Amino acid sequence: MTTELNITGMTCGHCEKAVRDALQHVPGVESVQVDRAAGQASVTGNADVQALIHAVTEEGYAAQVRS
For 3-61, the pLDDT digits (tens) are 999 999 999 999 999 999 999 999 999 999 999 999 999 999 999 999 999 999 999 99
At 44 the pLDDT is: 98
> From residue 39, how far is each of 24, 27, 36, 46, 56 by CA, in Å?
17, 23, 5, 22, 12
> From residue 51, how far is each of 12, 37, 43, 55 by CA, in Å?
24, 23, 12, 6
At 52 the pLDDT is: 98
Total-model pTM: 0.94
Dist. CA 10–CA 57, nearest whole Å: 12
Largest CA distance in the chain: 28
